[in-house]
Structure 1
Amino acid sequence: MIAHETHTASGFYSPEAFMAFRTAVQGPILLPDAAGYDQARKVWNAMIDRRPCLIVQCINTADVVHAVNFARTQQLPVAIRGGAHNAAGLAVCDNGLVIDLSLMKEIVVDPATMTARAQGGVLWGEFDQATQQHGLATTGGVVTTTGIAGLTLGGGIGWLMGKYGLSCDNLLSVEIVTADGQVRTASRTQNEDLFWAVRGAGGNFGVVTSFEYQLHRVGKVLGGMVLHPISRAKEVLQFYREFTATAPDELTTYAGALTSPDGHPMLAIVLCYCGADMEEGERLIAPVRQFGPPMVDMLRPMPYLEQQTLFDAAAPHGLQSYWKANQLDGLTDEAIDTFVKYVSPISSPRTAVLIEHHHGAMSRVDPEATAFRHREECYDLVILSLWTDPKDSPTHVRWTREFFEAMKPFYRHGVYVNALSDDEGNDRVRAAYGVNYDRLVELKRLYDPANLFRINNNIVP
């Protein structure tokens, strides 16, 4: 008897293979008609509306192995869902299988070795809560609902990066399920080539089921922000340029255009000093308090957990979102003038435009030591357009693209892969990896020659 494929509204697979798969998997499998399916396919960016034919909510590594094997043998597209916070919506796909790690939440902290192991469904807020119980932390995302998986695999920019490097710089090992369904450990002593690749190349090489991190002593930090009226944006950004030129490793500082809760366009300077000497920190940030002076000064000592929540209210789940980003070749007066032109006024009151200062420990790592390439001290422009009404999408997308294009004369070659949109093409992916791209292609041919893991910022084998 000839078996026929099952044809759903969003995919094809053998019913016999599916029944064997469903029997083997311990976690829930959601089909399009299942309760919970629509909630499970939602991601942080409400612009994304994709319908997979299967969502596999894995509860252990064995479930991930079964899901990878089923997708490969049935030739289904595969998306990997960790925190689902990526603006491009790469955690979900049409006509394919979503490997959902959101139920895999185990975190084990070892205070003696100052290490932690966490599964792929953990969010940064959950990870920080666990490590801060022991006065420990590692560089993590600046929004607590971001997943540890996507952020780390793409590099991992955060408030501690000047002192302790990127998230991926603090990675000690991973457990990963590769396209052949094998479970591998990758570290500096095991599968070293794969370990090199996962530190920056996203989900191109498999499904990372757990991450082992180096932790550091982090107690209270000196953090928060000051706010200036947007009319003073040019002089504030000129001050920011001079202030960050001599910033020590312990001090990470962003500038950003935003709208205050009462509707006023503002220019913010946001910072985090993670040094042990708070008096030294107060001395270092005194110029930020004094310049202007600011309309609002919210700088103060605070728990690291509080610092990590500063951007949470501005980036809730369920908004429409479109991003553009690129490193700047300095912060010249001309670049500042163009920036100010586009943020006066800003497109949407929910939108924020950041200029991030990247420096310190992250910039002293050899650019070829990990897949994450762009290590030079620089400023990074990130246009995070956010709005509520889908009908307004054309207006805000157009504004974002026009702003991004206007800033092009001031760009350098680098772009942070986690900030790429889904419409930017392979040239931009190549730009994210620079001279490391060719080596990544070789490793992709070795570990995923059929490009099973292609719903990502894809490295084409």
Structure 2
Amino acid sequence: MAASAVIQQLRGRVEGPVTGPGDARYDEARSVHNAMIDRTPAAVVRCTGAGDVRAVVDAARESGLELAVRGGGHSVPGFGTCDNGLVADLSGMRDVRVDPATRTARVEGGATWGDFNDAGYAYGLATTGGIISTTGVGGLTLGGGIGYLSRSMGLSCDSLISAEVVTADGRILVASEQENEDLFWAVRGGGGNFGVVTSFEFRLGPVKDVYGGPLLYEFEDTASVLRFFRDFITTAPRELGAFPGLQIAPPLPFIPEERQGRVHAIVVTCWTGPMEEGEQAVRPFRDAGRVVAEHLGPMPYPMLNSAFDDLVPPGLQHYWKANFVTELTDAAIAAHVEHGPGLPAVNSTVHIYPINGACHDVAPDATAFAYRDATFATVIAGMWPDAADNEASVDWVRDYYRATAPHSEGGGYINFMADDDQGRIRDNYRENYERLARIKQSYDPDNLFHLNQNIKP
């Protein structure tokens, strides 16, 4: 069926707007967070609910057109769009409903962590989200979900109670420990391979105000800071959600002007225990190196979760690489010290997220997320504003990755991976891959959902 006929048919079947080439808002509708991605879908359908999503899935299956699914739109490889195909855009589906009595929340598939955190904060409740509040709840959770609260609450997917999923054959299923258990297992870390999740039900924990913020150190102390963190975090209280990294100091009031624009080691802290213990909990980081700036104190959890949003606006060029790390060796630290000074822009960063604590409480085969023995998830997040810098900046990310990969595990966190990482898919899932492939065969035998880090049926 011709794309024009599919579009006309969709306009009669969905409640949300269907935007195609020539429509006034087409360029706005087709844009995604990564400006390196410039694709021209046949139509973008801004879905209003599961019924609209099913109509788009049915249209793609019946017509043979490509299908992309977009939640928050943050996919670095641009999986939320495609050329000459259909985009199921969930960004209008952002309702969050919190039940404080049961400490649960029902969240639509297009909601962001900012939406989620604001709704939960009113009741002093939260679950593990990301580091940037504009990130979509859906994409982050389907890939596992690493964030400030991982050490105390586990991954985002570990708090998932159920998911409403539109499958490739157009069914709307509930996946949970009681229904469609194999699908529920797969969506907890297996990405968007198995269907479109139109709503999530999460278990929440008590988190309202936290004590935390960033500390910046002399870059020359990077090795000392990383060695300290490596040792300290293994026995630190689970309420401490700190992570180290490398960052060009942005022009912020708490950073001395002479430090702005220079590369520093950083540690970002988040203490969710008793507020009166917060200062003492983060105090050891002050002795890890020479602190040149800090911004620590009590704050609402949503404020910390949105603190770095301005460094990651829409329209940057993005290229990222990622690895899981069991042991942060001295050789790995030396590679970080060698390549860190090449950060392409103030937007770029390198973070080393701890995924021990509660993440290790879950068995490697209990969910699709297999790296339950890893201690860290490292991301080399190349982000810069000028497309003229693409070649040099991508080379920096790749060189950095090649230097750290020999000191890392074979797989990486799929939410941090690039479009050229498909060859690593088996490594990402280890012994869970064959089960995932069987579930893929059951729910999507023709691989309709292939614009992702793809698990082939």
Give the TM-score normalised by the residue count of structure 2: 0.95
Structure 1 position 292, deviation (Å): 3.2
> What's 1:456 paired with?
452
> What's 1:266 paired with?
264
Q: Matched residues in 2 for 1:234 and 1:107: separation?
A: 42
Structure 1 position 150, deviation (Å): 0.3
Question: Any idea what the Cα deviations from partners look like across 1:221-250, whole Å, max 9, x if unmatched?
Answer: 111011012122122222222222321211
Q: Is the 8 A contact 2:90 2:110 kept in 1?
A: yes
Letter in 1 for 2:244: A
Q: Matched residues in 2 for 1:346 and 1:442: separation?
A: 41
Q: Matched residues in 2 for 1:397 and 1:452: separation?
A: 30
Letter in 1 for 2:246: A
1:326 aligns with 2:328: no
**For residues 345 and 54 of structure 1, do their structure 2 counterparts lie closer, same or farther at Cα, with a shift above 3 Å needed?**
closer
Kindly tell me the number of residue pairs found equivalent between the two proteins. Answer: 448
> What's 2:441 paired with?
445
Structure 1 position 377, deviation (Å): 4.1
Q: Is the 8 A contact 1:360 1:377 kept in 2?
A: no
> What's 1:292 paired with?
289
Q: Matched residues in 1 for 2:341 and 2:288: separation?
A: 21
> What's 1:94 paired with?
83
Q: Matched residues in 2 for 1:125 and 1:203: separation?
A: 21
> What's 2:278 paired with?
281
> What's 2:23 paired with?
34
1:66 aligns with 2:62: no
Question: Any idea what the Cα deviations from partners look like across 1:138-178, whole Å, max 9, x if unmatched?
Answer: 11111010000100111000111111111100111111110
Alignment map for 1:327-366 (pairs within 5 Å): 327-366=324-363
**For residues 337 and 29 of structure 1, do their structure 2 counterparts lie closer, same or farther at Cα, with a shift above 3 Å needed?**
same
Structure 1 position 280, deviation (Å): 3.1
**For residues 70 and 345 of structure 1, do their structure 2 counterparts lie closer, same or farther at Cα, with a shift above 3 Å needed?**
closer
| The one of 14, 30, 52 aligned to 2:41 | 52
1:227 aligns with 2:216: yes
Q: Is the 8 A contact 1:348 1:396 kept in 2?
A: no
Letter in 1 for 2:375: C
> What's 1:9 paired with?
none
Structure 1 position 18, deviation (Å): 4.3
Letter in 1 for 2:27: D
Q: Is the 8 A contact 2:344 2:383 kept in 1?
A: no
Q: Is the 8 A contact 1:257 1:352 kept in 2?
A: yes
Q: Is the 8 A contact 1:289 1:297 kept in 2?
A: no
Question: Any idea what the Cα deviations from partners look like across 1:413-457, whole Å, max 9, x if unmatched?
Answer: 3311111100112x3111111111100110111100000000011
| The one of 168, 171, 176 aligned to 1:187 | 176
Q: Is the 8 A contact 2:103 2:203 kept in 1?
A: yes
Alignment map for 1:390-401 (pairs within 5 Å): 390-401=387-398
> What's 1:158 paired with?
147
Letter in 1 for 2:140: L
Q: Matched residues in 2 for 1:256 and 1:292: separation?
A: 13
Stretches of structure 1 lacking an aligned partner (at least 5 in a row): 7-11
Stretches of structure 2 lacking an aligned partner (at least 5 in a row): 251-259
1:383 aligns with 2:372: no
**For residues 304 and 349 of structure 1, do their structure 2 counterparts lie closer, same or farther at Cα, with a shift above 3 Å needed?**
closer
Q: Matched residues in 1 for 2:289 and 2:239: separation?
A: 24
> Which one is further off, 123-132 or 297-306?
297-306
Q: Is the 8 A contact 1:21 1:70 kept in 2?
A: yes
Q: Matched residues in 2 for 1:312 and 1:18: separation?
A: 35
Structure 1 position 348, deviation (Å): 2.9
> What's 1:236 paired with?
225
**For residues 273 and 377 of structure 1, do their structure 2 counterparts lie closer, same or farther at Cα, with a shift above 3 Å needed?**
farther
Letter in 2 for 1:279: E
Letter in 2 for 1:125: G
Q: Matched residues in 2 for 1:245 and 1:171: separation?
A: 26
> Which one is further off, 191-200 or 326-335?
326-335
Letter in 1 for 2:445: P
Alignment map for 1:294-313 (pairs within 5 Å): 294-313=291-310
Alignment map for 1:131-170 (pairs within 5 Å): 131-170=120-159
Q: Matched residues in 2 for 1:328 and 1:164: separation?
A: 20
Q: Percent same amino acid at aligned positions?
A: 46
Question: Any idea what the Cα deviations from partners look like across 1:89-114, whole Å, max 9, x if unmatched?
Answer: 11111121000111112211111111
Q: Is the 8 A contact 2:128 2:156 kept in 1?
A: yes
Q: Is the 8 A contact 1:329 1:410 kept in 2?
A: no
**For residues 167 and 346 of structure 1, do their structure 2 counterparts lie closer, same or farther at Cα, with a shift above 3 Å needed?**
same
Alignment partner of 2:174: what SS?
Answer: strand
Tell me how large the CA RMSD over aligned residues is. Answer: 1.3
**For residues 214 and 31 of structure 1, do their structure 2 counterparts lie closer, same or farther at Cα, with a shift above 3 Å needed?**
same
Structure 1 position 362, deviation (Å): 1.1
Letter in 2 for 1:435: E
Structure 1 position 347, deviation (Å): 3.1
| The one of 429, 432, 443 aligned to 1:433 | 429
